[in-house]
Amino acid sequence: MPIRVLLFFSKEQRRTTISSLYTVQTCSCAHQNRRYRAKTSWSVLSRMLRELKQLHLKMLILPEFGILIASLVFFCLWWHIKRSHLQRCTSLNTVTHLPIRQNGLAATIDSSASFQNSVVVQQPEYVAKNTKLSWWSQNHKDTLPSVSGIPRYSYKDIQKATENFKTILGQGSFGTVYKATMPTSEVVAVKVLASDSKHGEKEFQTEVSLLGRLHHRNLVNLVGYCVDKGQHMLIYEYMSNGSLEKVLYGEELDTLSWDERLQIALDISHGIEYLHEGAVPPVVHRDLKSANILLDHSMRAKVADFGLSKVELFDGRTSSLKGTYGYMDPAYISTSKPTVKSDIYSFGVIIFELMTAIHPHQNLMDYVNLASMQADGIDEILDKRLVGKCNPAEARELARVAYRCLRRSPRKRPTIAEVSQSILKIKQRHLSREETVSFAGDDITRMISRIEDQQVELSKMEVTVLKKHEKLIMEDRLVVSKAWQKLEWQTLRPFEEGSAA
Ligand SMILES: Nc1ncnc2c1ncn2[C@@H]1O[C@H](COP(=O)(O)OP(=O)(O)OP(=O)(O)O)[C@@H](O)[C@H]1O
């Protein structure tokens, strides 16, 4: 404020003007809320102008004061325009973010109109890692903003990575899945949404927004996507051992060991636990089945295919039935209301599949119901490849967990955390048993090798004794022959001398 201007004011007026200007300045520093700040600034300014007018001073003709007011007005206008532009941009992606619990990570609920009720998790380390892929897309100026920070690729990029869609990994109701190698040498699986797919674009968007925000070591991670040339594609981390369904029912000679099956059950339960209890609100998968469990190079399992996932709503809203025959919870079929307990039911079916290698489409549930009539009924339906290779007590215990998951009343079914705990206990007991066996095995091996060493020693001793004996005999023989010669010579000598005489 130029001092010169204030000189025209009376003492009282000067004080009012200075304090008004001071208010403008401090308001702009003190308040975080910009709208409020702008509003306050405007009201203070207009009040000040009104006061100046009342003073009948011709201040505005003074160039310094005019410039100051003009720049203040300009600044406020500029700030307001910038602020509303920023707000408009953010509302296109995410609107309101409320804090949620997420395995120790801060997470938020996205209430944007485009992806209603989807779960938002703060961008994890893994996404940052994948930003190295984005150089590829950066060259393509036509790319639209990516969803949830997941790298977006052009059709050309994918065409190149899949070598013109050469290797098919599988076919689902969503479309065909191809193998691809990214420029970083990372091998991925590209799911191409079939143009006649019954899921359509809505499902595609659900999958991108949901998968892009949910990350766990037991979920198949989404590493990119493509919306280009009328095509919709999802890029996932590559699971080299394919689906659990293929491994259980395929013609591969290699079979899953009991140990591997226990680990797979535990991995699946951890994946579901993340969806049900790590994400708030909970995510119901709605299509858990062995075809949606994928196995990596070391046979560790991850839950895949969130195309049918929906965040559980607490308003009791019902929706159309989604899922796969044989895995669907009867309570869900009758109420059409998906809950986390419907997933627990499907998981129970998967546990029995793991144990029996009987597909739900081949009357698995009939066998399971028959087996439930006896305490050791599971022994009768256990996968033939496991007979004699697994501890029956462990198998029966796991079957009991699965039976609890299949209870008719959803309320009586355990939570996924309880299921995880039970499987973990079985696994730990299995490991400790194996250690004991291997300890005992170690002892026997050590004893055998000691006996073998002793045998070698004994045979060596035998050889030495024999050699010594032989030497002694030889020496004795020599002595005897010498004595014999001497005796002979002494006996014959008188005769020889006599005859000579
Ligand atoms: N990330 C992946 N890595 C390796 N193979 C995969 C991957 N995703 C899918 N596949 C293969 O592609 C097949 C089809 O997968 P997709 O998820 O499209 O269908 P689905 O789950 O079998 O059936 P639906 O879509 O009807 O649920 C799988 O069975 C699997 O063999």
Domains (range + CATH), the chain: 3-90 (no CATH), 95-238 (3.30.200.20), 242-437 (1.10.510.10)
Whether the per-residue pLDDT at 267 is higher than 70: the answer is yes
CB of 239 sitting under 6 A from ligand 1:
yes
pLDDT for the residue numbered 469: 77
191 among annotated binding-site residues: yes
Is residue 288 within 8 Å of 346, Cβ to Cβ?
yes
pLDDT for res 53 = 61
User: Judging by beta carbons within 10 Å of its beta carbon (0-12, 13-18, 19+), is residue 222 exposed, middle or buried?
Assistant: buried
User: In sequence order, which residues have a C-beta less than 8 Å from that of residue 222 and are 6 or more positions away?
Assistant: 150, 207, 208, 211, 212, 234, 235, 236
- Residue 488: pLDDT band (50, 70, 90) is confident
Q: Is 291 in the pocket of ligand 1 (CB under 6 A)?
A: yes
Determine which helix (DSSP H) or strand (DSSP E) holds 348, and give its type and residue range.
helix 340-356
Tokens (6 digits) for 75: 């600044």
CA of 392 relative to ligand 1 center, distance in Å: 33
Q: State the virtual CA torsion across 465, 470, 476, 480 in degrees, nearest 10.
A: 160
> 174 in ligand 1 pocket by Cβ < 6 Å?
yes
Residue 134, token pair as written in the block: 């984005």
Look up residue 276 and give its DSSP letter: I
173 Cβ closer than 6 Å to some ligand 1 atom: yes
Q: Find residue 97's DSSP bridge partners.
A: 110
25-62 pLDDT, tens digit per residue, is: 433 434 444 444 445 455 655 675 576 566 554 544 45
* Mean pLDDT, rounded, for 359-387: 94
Q: Are 466 and 474 in contact (CB under 8 A)?
A: no
For residues 278-307, give the mean pLDDT: 90
pLDDT at 305: 85
pLDDT above 90 as % of the chain:
40
- The pLDDT assigned to 20 comes to 46
Q: Which of 294, 325, 328 to mutate to test the pocket of ligand 1 (most atoms within 8 A of CB)?
A: 294
Q: Stretch 191-216: mean pLDDT, rounded? A: 72
Give residue 93's identity as a one-letter amino acid code: N
Q: ipTM of this model? A: 0.97
- Closest residue (by CA) to atom 18 of ligand 1? 172
Q: What is the pLDDT of residue 316?
A: 46
User: Distance from the CA of 244 to the center of ligand 1, in angstroms?
Assistant: 10
Phi, psi of 231 (to 5 degrees): -105, 145
Cβ of 305 below 6 Å from ligand 1? yes
pLDDT of residue 71: 80
| Position in ligand 1 atom list of the atom nearest CA 287 | 27
Distance from C-alpha of 301 to C-alpha of 296, rounded to nearest angstrom = 7
Q: Check residue 430 and report its DSSP letter.
A: H
Ligand 1 pocket mutation pick from 187, 191, 199, 293 by most atoms within 8 angstroms of CB:
191
Is the model more confident about 74 or about 265?
A: 265
Read off the pLDDT band of 451 (50, 70, 90).
confident
Q: What is the pLDDT of residue 202?
A: 65
Cα(275) to ligand 1 centroid in Å equals 19
The C-alpha angle with vertex 55 and arms to 51 and 58, in degrees rounded to 5, equals 105
Q: For ligand 1, atom 21, which residue shows the shortest CA distance? A: 292
More confidently predicted of 54 and 174: 174
329 C-beta closer than 6 A to ligand 1: no
Please tell me the distance from the alpha carbon of residue 241 to that of residue 252, in angstroms, as a whole number: 11
Q: Report which listed range, 51-65, 73-87, 112-126, 397-411, is most confident.
A: 397-411
Identity of the residue numbered 160: K
pTM of this structure: 0.62
Span 117-168, pLDDT tens digits: 233 333 333 333 333 333 344 444 344 556 667 888 999 999 999 999 999 9
Asked if 226 and 161 touch (Cβ cutoff 8 Å), the reply is: no
C-alpha closest to that of 224 among 182, 268, 164, 185 = 182
More confident: 367 or 499: 367
What was the pLDDT predicted at 355? 97
Q: What does the DSSP 8-state code read for residue 375?
A: T
Question: According to the model, what pLDDT value does residue 459 have?
Answer: 79
CA distance 116 to 137: 27
**Ligand 1 close to Cβ of residue 176 (< 6 A):** no
Q: What is the arithmetic mean of pLDDT over 317-332?
A: 82
- What is the 8-class DSSP label of residue 294? E
Helices H / strands E in the chain, number of each: 16, 12
The ligand 1 atom nearest the CA atom of 172 = 19
Instruction: Give the ligand 1 atom nearest the CA of 171.
Output: 14
Most confident of 18-27, 39-48, 271-280: 271-280
User: In a mutational test of the pocket of ligand 1, which residue from 188, 222, 225, 305 has the highest number of ligand atoms less than 8 Å from its CB?
Assistant: 305
* Confidence tier at 319 by pLDDT (50, 70, 90): low
* CA 305 to ligand 1: nearest atom: 17
Smallest CA separation from ligand 1 atom 20, residue? 172
Instruction: Please work out whether the CB of residue 292 comes within 6 Å of at least one atom of ligand 1.
Output: yes
Q: Look at residue 379 in the predicted model and tell me its pLDDT.
A: 95
pLDDT at position 49 is 58
Q: What is the average pLDDT score of the chain?
A: 75
Ligand 1 mean position, distance from CA 243 (Å): 7
Strand partners, 231: 228
Q: Is any atom of ligand 1 closer than 6 Å to the C-beta of 191?
A: yes
**Ligand 1 mean position, distance from CA 441 (Å):** 42
pLDDT band (50, 70, 90) for residue 262:
very high
Give nearest CA residue, ligand 1 atom 1: 238
241 contacts: CB under 8 Å, gap ≥ 6: 247, 294, 295, 296, 297, 299
Asked if the peptide bond before residue 330 counts as cis, ω within 30 degrees of 0, the response is no
Question: Quick check: helix, strand or coil at residue 107?
Answer: strand
Task: Answer whether residue 482 shows pLDDT above 50.
Answer: yes
Q: Which residue reads 């066998």 in tokens?
A: 367
Interior/surface letters 299-310, b for 16+ CB within 10 angstroms, e for the rest: bbbbbbbbbbbb
pLDDT-derived band at 19 (thresholds 50, 70, 90) equals very low
Residue with more model confidence, 481 or 366: 366
> What count of Cα atoms within 13 Å lies in the side-chain half-sphere of residue 150?
26
408 — pLDDT class (breaks 50, 70, 90): very high
Residue 75 has pLDDT above 50, yes or no: yes
Distance of CA 290 to the CA centre of its chain: 17
* 98-107, 326-335, 386-395: least confidently modelled range: 98-107
Identify the pLDDT of residue 148: 65
Which of 162, 165, 169 is the pocket-test mutation for ligand 1 (most atoms within 8 Å of CB)? Answer: 169
**Ligand 1 atom showing the smallest separation from residue 174 Cα:** 25
* pLDDT classification of 256: cutoffs 50, 70, 90: very high
pLDDT over 70 (residue 16): no
What is the 26 CA–ligand 1 centroid distance (Å)? 61
The residues that are catalytic are: 287
Output the DSSP codes for 41-88: HHHHHHHHHHHHHHTT--GGGSHHHHHHHHHHHHHHHHHHHHHHHHHH
Q: Average of pLDDT values for 13-27? A: 45
Ligand 1 atom nearest to 191, measured from its CA: 18
Measure the CA angle with vertex 109, ends 104 and 111; round to 5°.
Answer: 170
